[in-house]
């Protein structure tokens, strides 16, 4: 392992020594994978799984390490084993194609008699990842302050890091991202003179688009890296945007439109009431809210809301995906607001993630020169493919939500 892996994630460099747990993981995995249309192959030529010759192939490079990681931490070990190179895909297998059958069976892949033992393998969300004002800044910085140059290597020229909305198979990712942004601005009724608050600046694409409509735009972020590049992009675009490095809980004023794209996932369940109550407080009479939110089915949200997973450990610390029902309930109990329209972009997100991953892999040599190692590459490849598989199967979805005070119609 290189310096990047051993210093940031020392657990990846050496597999845990858990022989009993490893044997238990192996005993559970074999009958489980025999119901999944994949091939799990070993170096000695033996094969597990319900797949045929043309099915996605998962190759165990170091079975002993793989089962040790899986036994030590069932929810996190699978991804860690990929990061470590304990398993990989067959030469003709795309990683998302391999993960898709598992994602499609996420709720049932563990045999029902064993599901009652979930309480013993689920880890609680770590206290240091709570999304307090101080904690949120640390959580955001851990992902978004990695490097602007890193994100520029796989995002489209608009630097949009969220689901696009494709009009046709031929449409480019950049055009689909601008279409997504325009839909959010339309839903929020943003026109010339509109006072707009954007919660979560990204790298400024939405703020620029809103400013071009003649709106008066305030955008907030906790990422200093994003703020720096966004300011440069505002100057290049010739727009006057007020960008502030503040938490949403610190915003004051009154706004005709409040927009936020895939930021609620970083708020945390504990703070959803505060998040939506803040929006309610800042929204002018007759104003409109439009947010884009990744969601999961309510029963899956209830099952996973208090558990710590691979994504939270390695990609989005403090992250939690809500359900539509959880959003509706929070709005009802803590605000005067309600969702008035929904638009699903789930399959569009699968395509967006696929394009990001292809570009990331194609540009890996340029990314590597920034100081990122092979463990990081495998981590991000797994992250992008894992999410793509989730959206492909409908385990995850993403919605553009129009929100307003019903009495103001």
Cβ atoms of residues 306 and 270 within 8 Å: no
**Among this protein's residues, is 101 annotated catalytic?**
no
* Nearest to 105, CA basis, from 27, 35, 25, 24: 35
Rg (CA), the chain: 22
CA distance 245 to 226: 10
Residue of 95, 296, 350, 387 with catalytic role? 387
Supply 136's token pair: 């949120």
Q: What is the DSSP letter of 373?
A: -
Q: Do residues 194 and 284 make contact, with C-beta atoms less than 8 angstroms apart?
A: no
Strand 283-296, strand 255-261: pairing: parallel
**Packing angle of the helix pair 346-362, 374-393 (nearest 10 deg):** 160
Q: What is the DSSP string of 73-136?
A: -HHHHHHHHHHHTSEEE-TT--HHHHHHHHHHTTTTSS-HHHHTTHHHHPPPPPGGG--SHHHH
Question: Can you tell me whether residue 43 is helix, strand or coil?
Answer: coil
Cβ density class 176-213: b for 16+ within 10 Å, e for less? bbbebbbbbbebbebeeebbbbbbbbbbbbbbbbbbeb
Token match 């610190």: residue? 250
Instruction: Provide the angle, in degrees to the nearest 10, between the axes of the packed helices 205-212 and 224-237.
Output: 30
- What single-letter DSSP state applies at residue 386? H
Cα–Cα dist 90/321, whole Å:
31
- Binning the chain into helix, strand and coil, the percentages to the nearest 5 are 50, 15, 35
Catalytic residues: 387
């Amino acid at each position: 392992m290189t310096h990047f892996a051993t210093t940031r994630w020392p657990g990846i460099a050496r597999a845990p020594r858990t022989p009993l747990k490893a044997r238990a993981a192996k005993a559970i995995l074999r009958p489980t994978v025999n119901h999944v249309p994949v091939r799990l192959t070993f170096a000695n030529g033996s094969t597990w799984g319900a797949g045929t010759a043309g099915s996605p192939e998962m190759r165990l490079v170091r079975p002993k390490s793989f089962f040790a990681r899986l036994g030590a931490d069932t929810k996190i070990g699978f991804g860690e084993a990929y990061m470590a190179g304990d398993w990989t895909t067959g030469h003709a297998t795309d990683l998302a194609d391999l993960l898709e059958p598992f994602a499609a069976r996420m709720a049932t892949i563990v045999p029902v008699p064993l599901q009652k033992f979930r309480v013993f393998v689920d880890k609680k969300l770590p206290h240091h990842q709570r999304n307090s004002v101080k904690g949120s800044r640390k959580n955001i910085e851990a992902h978004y302050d990695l490097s602007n140059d890193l994100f520029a290597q796989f995002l489209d020229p608009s630097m949009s890091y969220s689901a696009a909305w494709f009009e046709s198979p031929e449409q480019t990712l950049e055009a689909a991202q601008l279409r997504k942004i325009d839909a959010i601005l339309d839903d929020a009724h943003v026109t010339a003179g509109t006072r707009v608050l954007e919660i979560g600046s990204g790298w400024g694409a939405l703020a620029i688009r809103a400013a071009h409509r003649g709106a008066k735009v305030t955008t907030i972020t906790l990422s200093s890296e994003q703020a720096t590049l966004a300011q440069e992009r505002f100057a290049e675009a010739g727009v006057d945007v007020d960008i502030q490095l503040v938490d949403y809980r610190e915003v004051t004023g009154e706004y005709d439109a409040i927009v936020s794209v895939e930021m609620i996932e970083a708020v945390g369940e504990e703070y959803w009431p505060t998040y939506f109550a803040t929006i309610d407080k800042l929204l002018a009479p007759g104003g409109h809210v439009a947010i884009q939110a990744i969601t999961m089915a309510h029963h899956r949200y209830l099952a996973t809301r208090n558990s710590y997973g691979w994504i939270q450990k390695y990609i989005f610390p403090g992250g939690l995906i809500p359900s539509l029902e959880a959003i509706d309930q929070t709005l009802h109990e803590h605000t005067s607001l309600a969702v008035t329209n929904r638009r699903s972009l789930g399959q569009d997100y699968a395509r967006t993630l696929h394009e990001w991953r292809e570009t990331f892999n194609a540009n890996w040599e340029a990314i590597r020169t920034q100081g990122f190692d092979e463990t990081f590459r495998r981590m991000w490849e797994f992250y992008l493919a894992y999410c793509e598989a989730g959206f492909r199967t409908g385990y995850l979805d993403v919605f553009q939500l129009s929100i307003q005070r019903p009495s103001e119609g």
